[in-house]
Structure 1
Amino acid sequence: MPTQTSTQRSPAVPASAEPRRPAGPRAVAEPGSSPRWVRWLPVLLLFTDLVIQTVFPQATAAGFLLTALPVLVAFGFGPWLTAASGAGALVLQVLVASHAGHLYEHHHVWVYLSTGLAAMAGVMLALQRVRQARHLVLASTVSEALRRTVLHPVPEQVGELRTAGRYQAAQAEVAIGGDLYELCDTPFGTRVLLGDVRGSGLEAVRAVADLLGAFRATAHEVRELGELAELLDRQVRRGALESGDEELFVTAVLLEHRPGTDRLDVVNRGHLDPVLLGGGAVRTVHCPQDLPLGLGHLRGQPAPAPTSIPFTAGQTLLLHTDGVTEARDRAGRFYPLTARLATRFHGRPSVVPEQLVSFVTEDLARHAGPARDDLALLALTPAPVRGKAAHPA
């Protein structure tokens, strides 16, 4: 997840600001771990075998069931315990056959052999499962490192803005998708970028990394927000030409908050309008929209100037991608973001950013279940920093 990149970054990043895996249906077990019920199957088999042997001691050769024991153990445990279960199954079969007086009968000997082969197969299965689990852990670690390299954690405060964010990739095992955001405390104020790359897969991740890298570098060098948007537009266009994807573009919204002011400057490049909460009301902030980043060369007129909107204490601005508003429930109904926010926060004079993004994340999961698209959320509210020298205007 994004964070500011200047030396004035907040030194502590609270755990609550870290990206979180959604609870409920999307919760995923640790790589390589087996469901608890799988680990009880060997016990159930042993119990069943002993009960049958006790109730019908002469009618059935219940020890035959133990042939499957090491294979069942292999699904839930490691190779050593699997081998031990195979040896234990052989011992029990010998004891059961000896008790019934059939120790050396021809078909019992073949059962002993089958159990030994099953134990060998179980040990190989357990070894393969453990090996795959280690590979999954390594892949998960690399994926998490990539996400943290591309999308930095959101700090509790950037400049004079208190912030909170969530990022959720549609493919939980990938950890990063085509949505992006970043916050930078620059000499020109706090600057924010939130966007959504067209497409998915590795090309989308590459576009995300390129765009965030360009934003982090140029946000500190370019005075005007509109000029910054044009530089990012050209960066996306260059990436499209290099990758051979002429249709690559990024919908994005850029914000700027100058220290000591009570306004935000907004540039909307084909993205969803932000939502403003404050004074007990919820409203959509409509701004003139320009073409998405990467398509500015198709514009037939000058780019619209940034829109200035009031942004005072007690107000909270929510930025989001279409993974929120286009999420559907089982009946095909889209998630009604503004209506849900109005219901939840009606009458509240102010909303804490972390509470806002937590509510949307959890309420969205209840509405639509497992996510089918990437989503990104950023919530911002004014939070003046006492004793801090103002940046030059």
Structure 2
Amino acid sequence: MPRWVPWLPVALLLLDLLIEAVVPDAVAAGFLLTALPVVAAFSYGPALTAATTAGALALQILLALRAGHINEQHHVWVYIATLLSGVMGTALAWQRIRQNRNLLQARTVAETLQRTVLRPVPERAGGLRVAGLYRPAQAEVLVGGDLYEVCDTRFGVRVLLGDVRGKGLGAVRTVADVLGAFRAAAHDTPGLVDLADQLDRAVLRDATDRGDDELFATAVLLQYRPGADCVEIVNRGHTTPLLLAGGAITPVSCADELPLGLGHLGPPDERGKPTVVVLPPGHTVLLYTDGVSEARDATGTFYPLATRLTAFGDTTPDRVVSFLAQDVHQFAGLLADDLAVLALTPEH
């Protein structure tokens, strides 16, 4: 509610008194007070609205007494109209508060469910320091079409970051399905490529159930075994991960593979292998969605991610994520697409 709305009843009252003072004999300014209870109902509760009604009636009677018009028929009808306005205003205030309470409860339940779908990023997982950023393009929702998850499994830390085709509730449903499949399979599937294949089949099943032949999700999967000096990466049609090492920003070249849900369109006998990336302490892997790399300024220029990170220089995950959160916003303003970022580095 705008801050000026609660002041509307006061403004109406002052206007009425001003008119009464300026032209006391020519205008029955108390007539304006008939609308006062309904105006108050937009800002105040039933009790205060009822009190406003009583106050408006009392002031109308005092002003009519001052002008000597209290017994005139049209004044009596004004009193009745004010009383009816007060009844309707009180009922409106009660309904507004009841509706706001129901909306708050519904939003609380929705937020709880959304946070169950998209869990907070842990600061540490299996020997990795992790930082994450998630911003839906729609500010009023908590989950959009981007997704991420970090699971500490018996095979090591497994990370998923992806982007579902489409927007709205349909995209959120696919996000929930992909994350559910990843959380279940990440703990029982030995190979990272096998894990990606399971997610591919999960998205394909979802597309078949919906009758949507164009449903897919781009994704990048990462695996880190505690104590290792490298990570494994499988990229399914997603944006290219970056390796941050001091002042150098290096794209991580992975095999070109189809997005999740479209794997059946590729060669049946051809299976990719994970890309192994050396990751000593002090180096950081950056995973991100196209909400970062395709963010545009007012002139239509894409956000120069590698250039900005090179100028920034720091590779600490939380500082990189904080920098991107502020810098992308300053560069592009309002987001046109969902944005997700994960930064990971081995602990010393």
TM range (shorter): over 0.9
Aligned residue in 1 for 2:270: 302
Q: Secondary structure at the match of 2:341?
A: strand
**Segment drifting more, 147-156 vs 320-329:** 320-329
Aligned residue in 2 for 1:19: none
State the Cα distance separating 1:279 from its structure 2 match: 1.0
Give yes or no for the alignment of 1:320 onto 2:298.
Answer: no
State the Cα distance separating 1:281 from its structure 2 match: 2.8
Q: Map of 1:3-152 to 2, 5 A cutoff?
A: 34-152=1-119
| CA distance in structure 2 between the aligned counterparts of 1:87 and 1:342, rounded to whole angstroms | 68
Aligned residue in 1 for 2:330: 366
Give yes or no for the alignment of 1:214 onto 2:214.
Answer: no
State the Cα distance separating 1:93 from its structure 2 match: 0.8
Give yes or no for the alignment of 1:376 onto 2:343.
Answer: no
| CA distance in structure 1 between the aligned counterparts of 2:286 and 2:170, rounded to whole angstroms | 27
| CA distance in structure 2 between the aligned counterparts of 1:79 and 1:331, rounded to whole angstroms | 51
CA 1:372 to 1:121, structure 2 compared with 1: closer, same or farther past 3 Å? Answer: farther
| CA distance in structure 2 between the aligned counterparts of 1:352 and 1:287, rounded to whole angstroms | 24
| CA distance in structure 2 between the aligned counterparts of 1:374 and 1:143, rounded to whole angstroms | 19
State the Cα distance separating 1:354 from its structure 2 match: 2.1
Contact 2:219/2:236 (8 A) holds in 1: yes
| CA distance in structure 1 between the aligned counterparts of 2:283 and 2:6, rounded to whole angstroms | 52
Aligned residue in 1 for 2:222: 255
Residue in structure 2 matching 1:194, options 147, 161, 164? 161
Contact 2:289/2:340 (8 A) holds in 1: yes
Q: Which runs of 5+ in 1 are unaligned?
A: 1-33, 385-393
Q: Secondary structure at the match of 1:71?
A: helix
Q: Map of 1:325-344 to 2, 5 A cutoff?
A: 325-343=293-311
| CA distance in structure 2 between the aligned counterparts of 1:73 and 1:147, rounded to whole angstroms | 36
Aligned residue in 1 for 2:203: 236
Contact 2:135/2:338 (8 A) holds in 1: yes
Contact 1:329/1:335 (8 A) holds in 2: yes
State the Cα distance separating 1:105 from its structure 2 match: 1.9
Q: Deviations over 1:3-55 (max 9, x none)?
A: xxxxxxxxxxxxxxxxxxxxxxxxxxxxxxx2221011111222222222223
| CA distance in structure 2 between the aligned counterparts of 1:333 and 1:82, rounded to whole angstroms | 53
| CA distance in structure 2 between the aligned counterparts of 1:185 and 1:319, rounded to whole angstroms | 18
Q: Secondary structure at the match of 1:130?
A: helix
CA 1:128 to 1:189, structure 2 compared with 1: closer, same or farther past 3 Å? Answer: same
Q: Deviations over 1:298-327 (max 9, x none)?
A: 112513211111212112222111222223
State the Cα distance separating 1:123 from its structure 2 match: 1.8
State the Cα distance separating 1:352 from its structure 2 match: 2.6
State the Cα distance separating 1:370 from its structure 2 match: 2.9
CA 1:271 to 1:74, structure 2 compared with 1: closer, same or farther past 3 Å? Answer: same
Contact 1:143/1:174 (8 A) holds in 2: no
Q: Deviations over 1:327-372 (max 9, x none)?
A: 33333333332233233x13x4xx3322222222222223333333
Equivalent residue pairs, number: 347
Give yes or no for the alignment of 1:356 onto 2:320.
Answer: yes
Q: Secondary structure at the match of 2:4?
A: helix
| CA distance in structure 2 between the aligned counterparts of 1:117 and 1:331, rounded to whole angstroms | 56
Q: Secondary structure at the match of 2:152?
A: strand
Contact 1:140/1:173 (8 A) holds in 2: no
Aligned residue in 2 for 1:27: none
| CA distance in structure 1 between the aligned counterparts of 2:237 and 2:32, rounded to whole angstroms | 65
Q: Which runs of 5+ in 2 are unaligned?
A: none
Aligned residue in 2 for 1:390: none
| CA distance in structure 2 between the aligned counterparts of 1:342 and 1:48, rounded to whole angstroms | 61
Aligned residue in 1 for 2:138: 171
**Segment drifting more, 190-199 vs 283-292:** 283-292
Q: Deviations over 1:89-136 (max 9, x none)?
A: 111111111112111223222222221222222222222322221222
What amino acid sits opposite 1:367 in the alignment? F
Contact 2:115/2:142 (8 A) holds in 1: no
CA 1:111 to 1:329, structure 2 compared with 1: closer, same or farther past 3 Å? Answer: farther
Residue identity over aligned pairs, in percent, reads: 59
Aligned residue in 2 for 1:245: 212
CA 1:62 to 1:250, structure 2 compared with 1: closer, same or farther past 3 Å? Answer: same
Q: Deviations over 1:249-278 (max 9, x none)?
A: 110000011111121111100000122222
RMSD, matched Cα: 1.8
| CA distance in structure 2 between the aligned counterparts of 1:59 and 1:377, rounded to whole angstroms | 69
**Segment drifting more, 328-337 vs 249-258:** 328-337
| CA distance in structure 2 between the aligned counterparts of 1:112 and 1:369, rounded to whole angstroms | 53
